[in-house]
Amino acid sequence: MSRVDAALKASGHSRYVADFAVPNMAHAAVVRSAMAHARIVSIDTRAALNCPGVIAAFTAADVSATPYGRALIDTPLLARDKVRFVGERVAAVVATTRQEAEYAAAMIEVDYEPLDAVFSLSEALADGAPAVHEQPWAYMGAAAKEGDPINLIHRGTHGSKEEVDAALANAAFVVDHHYSTQGVHQGYLEPQACIADYVSDDEVRIWLTTKAPYRVREMVGKCLDIDPKKIELAPITLGGDFGGKGSPQDAPLCTELSRKTGRPVKMTLRYNEDLTATNPRHPAEIDVRIGADKEGRIVAASMVASLNAGAYGAFTPSVPAPHGAVEIPSYRVPLYYSEANRVYTNTVPRGNMRAPGAPQGTFALESAMDELALAIGIEPAELRRRNLLVTGEADASHVHWIEHRGLETLEAALAAVVPIDPPKGWLYGRGIAIYSRPTTSMASTSLRLTPIDDGCLRVETPLVETGTGSHTALRQMLSNQLGFAPQKIEIVGVSTNDLPRDAGAGASRVTAGLAAVVDVAAKAWMNRSRDEAIVVEINEDSGIDVGSYTVQVAQVAIDPSTGQMKLLELLNAVDIAAIINPLAFQMQIDGGATMGVGFATLEDLDEADGQVWAANMGEYKLPSARDVPTYKTVKVPGAIGLGTANVKNIGESTTPPVAAAIANAVFDATKCRIRDLPITAEKIYQALKGQQ
Amino acid sequence: MNVKMTLNGEPFSAETPSDGLLVDVLRLNGFTGTKEGCGVGVCGACTVLVSDVPVASCIYLAALAEGQDVWTVEGLTEKDSALLNAFVEKEGMQCGICTPGQVVSAYALGIENPTANEEEIREFMAGNLCRCTGYVTITESVRAYLASK
């Protein structure tokens, strides 16, 4: 049976936030900063107030002064005293229609006094650098302390640098290279949108393009001093997320505008606002050092990453464990040092995007592994074979996963590769890369099961269907355990008022979390009194560290006269437990890989002087049906999963290794090593020219 | 100004500013199946059929639709059940925001080249971006629809 939402979506009858209107609704538009760093001298709203349809105009002085954020509470509703990036919200207009709001917003005059700005990591960390925030340590949730470099948000380290330095000094083979990655956007095709209806402090209703409604409720409540339980996030269908819709977006602002105007307020971004002023992936600068003994076994490794966090740090948690950008999850590393720095700059604030940190870190690490293999004089696959973790060993961060299936996944991948002939006169190369990722075993969600007529079951869930097929998987797992045929089960998304909890979609945990709550629901269902509805919830850690390996093999052809690269095939070997919905599972593999292909070869926000120059989708290139390679999938079954359903992660597994697999294939073809993304024809051409 | 067209086979007229866009006229009159994504005619989410030609309604002046035969995803999938069935059965979607545009383009390909091969399908559908699927199931859906014709 097909997806629960297939017919509605394919016929255009599925409704998204932008499709909703509520009675008496007004529309908001914002004025965005044209300056990267400037003092706001004055804001003149008089002309805007005289425009047709305008209800009110707002500046920072008119709205709550409490900032908002996830862990670090540093983001204002509207820029106060100064602006910190091009695109920051400076003022807002509420009008009868969207067009009137946008027209009036353009009439607001802002007078700025420019300040020295910092754009790059080196500028931001230089002695005497201009401060993006004067007192970053003073924000609630700040990790920075007074006396730290002024623009440092957070520095997380793991292991002993001295021990690693000493081991590397004595290693038979050492590589030491610098890699960099560009700014890229989540690229969901549904612009962020919000409708907020503030009736009173006891009644607030929000429709938001969010995957994490309970978290948004908390953040809006704290910012506006409203009891979060009085804020209802309505159930919605989400038009893509990929990490870009976990932040509160414009819900705090729209709620405040509704409170001030007494009307429901809707704001839908234009896509150029999504590209330039939301929370794309952090650009990163990463130094990798790996040392090996004479037999090619790793003796020590160091990964040091600096992540450009942009003007605000509100949208990512400050993780205590090694950041995704510096993790070494797959290999035996006796001595490991990592350092991840998140740094304020006068650029667009960054947030989470599919496997946060891992696409940057895996590009660096897996490129460096190939460079190490070259230094030792062994095949890249052989170096990995000698160093992949096996079951029973702890990883570099001392985590004991329940099993390691990297070796069999690697062998399965290599066995399945069929070399493809390049076009005549083109160079051919093949590259591999490996990534492994834990399934977050923290399950936090709830369900209501109500028997209805004709032996049917109505199942309410607060989990937002982000597009992954989660509601379909829920129906399938309930069908398997309760004995209802899938067509007898109706899955209904409900609001935050209807059920107690949901952690939001993310961290590759959705199916595992659903599996856990379905186990609880199945028990409660067997024990229920006749014909009554049951509500179940779960909020616990399974305590088992289950992970999944992905081994990718990229085959490329390169035209030596132009540098043009054609990705002939991308093979994904994945280590799997049970699969609930085969097509949805496959789309996570292919879709994740496609996002990796975009990151590796096409996508670039093209940032310079604090501006995002790729400010529309004509400039910011997402892969099209023509740009993707042939995908080949090798499933390596038999892994241990979570819950009765025996499931583990897939959604964030195939994106991170793509860039390194391609870079390694490009090297195999050309003997040119590209250490900065994206890998373009121009870079390959220049590198080939440099060889001559 | 007022613009008159045939919409999904029925007479339709609506008020629009002279610089109003077709996507806004449709959506403000309840035809929200047509989505606005990029707003610059690149992503294809807003694709509608104007006298058998697929157009990006986000950069198409509503006034240009005067007197034309306009079809949206709602009308095409009602008229041609094979179109809907192909995308449902092959699960040619995930989040669904690009799907209306994919469906309209698939219908347009059915008019233009009903025997299109894999490469021709991908070439024709390249103007409809999808961030979720990696395009395999969408291409399969289009192929299944063409095969049904």
Distances (CA, A) of A107 to A46, A291, B89: 9, 60, 50
Q: Does A199 lie at the interface with B, CB-CB under 8 angstroms?
A: no
Using the predicted structure, report yes or no on whether residue B126 has a pLDDT greater than 70: yes
Where in chain B are all domains bearing CATH 1.10.150.120?
75-148
Q: Which two tokens stand for residue A434?
A: 């490996």
Q: Report residue A300: phi and psi, to 5°.
A: -165, 155
* Residues of B with Cβ-Cβ distance to A237 under 8 angstroms: 95-96
Report the CATH number of the B75-148 domain: 1.10.150.120
Where in chain B are all domains bearing CATH 3.10.20.30?
2-72
Are A625 and B103 inside 8 Å of each other by CB? Answer: no
Distances (CA, A) of A582 to A333, A473, A552, A590: 35, 10, 20, 12
Q: Does A21 lie at the interface with B, CB-CB under 8 angstroms?
A: no
Predicted TM-score (pTM) of this structure: 0.97
Q: Could you tell me the residue ranges of all domains in chain A?
A: 6-115+192-268, 284-439+544-691, 442-541
* Residues of A with Cβ-Cβ distance to B130 under 8 angstroms: 189, 625
- B-proximal residues of A, 225-284, CB under 8 Å: 237-242, 270-272
The CA distance from A392 to the nearest CA of chain B, in Å, is: 36
Are A240 and B95 inside 8 Å of each other by CB? Answer: yes
Contact present, A315 and A216 (Cβ < 8 Å): no
DSSP secondary structure of A613-627: S--STTTS----TTT
Predicted confidence at residue A317, as pLDDT, reads 66
Which of A11, A27, A192, A566 is the best residue to mutate to test the B interface, defined by the most B CB atoms within 10 Å of its own CB? Answer: A11
Q: Report helix, strand or coil for A597.
A: helix
Q: Which two tokens stand for residue B115?
A: 């025997």
* CATH number, domain A442-541, options 2.60.40.420, 3.30.365.10, 3.40.50.1980, 3.40.50.970: 3.30.365.10
Q: Does B132 lie at the interface with A, CB-CB under 8 angstroms?
A: yes
Contact present, A142 and A318 (Cβ < 8 Å): no
Q: Does A485 lie at the interface with B, CB-CB under 8 angstroms?
A: no
Report the CATH number of the A284-439+544-691 domain: 3.30.365.10
Fold agreement (A6-115+192-268, A442-541): no
- % of chain A residues with pLDDT over 90: 92
- For A273-284, the pLDDT digits (tens) are 999 999 999 999
- For A391-421, the pLDDT digits (tens) are 999 999 888 899 999 999 999 999 999 999 9
* Residues of B with Cβ-Cβ distance to A584 under 8 angstroms: 91, 94
Q: Which CATH superfamily is domain A6-115+192-268 in?
A: Aldehyde oxidase/xanthine dehydrogenase, a/b hammerhead (3.90.1170.50)
N- to C-terminal Cα separation, chain B: 40
Using the predicted structure, report yes or no on whether residue A439 has a pLDDT greater than 80: no
Q: How would CATH label the architecture of B2-72? A: Roll (3.10)
Give chain A's mean pLDDT: 96
Are A10 and B93 inside 8 Å of each other by CB? Answer: yes
- For A634-692, the pLDDT digits (tens) are 999 999 998 889 999 999 999 999 999 999 999 999 999 999 999 999 999 999 999 87
Using the predicted structure, report yes or no on whether residue A320 has a pLDDT greater than 70: no
- Overall size of chain B counted in residues: 149
- For A596-623, the pLDDT digits (tens) are 999 999 999 999 999 999 999 999 999 9
Q: Does B125 lie at the interface with A, CB-CB under 8 angstroms?
A: yes
Nearest CA among A367, A380, A361 for reference residue A296: A380
Predicted confidence at residue A321, as pLDDT, reads 63
Show the 3-state SS of A320-364: CCCCCCCCCCCECCCEEEEEEEEEECCCCCCCCCCCCCHHHHHHH
- For A528-563, the pLDDT digits (tens) are 887 789 999 999 887 778 889 999 999 999 999 999
Does the predicted interface ipTM exceed a cut of 0.95? Answer: yes
| Closest residue in A to B121 (Cα–Cα) | A625
| Closest residue in B to A20 (Cα–Cα) | B32
Are A15 and B32 inside 8 Å of each other by CB? Answer: yes
The minimal CB distance from A271 to the residues B37, B94, B131 is found for B37
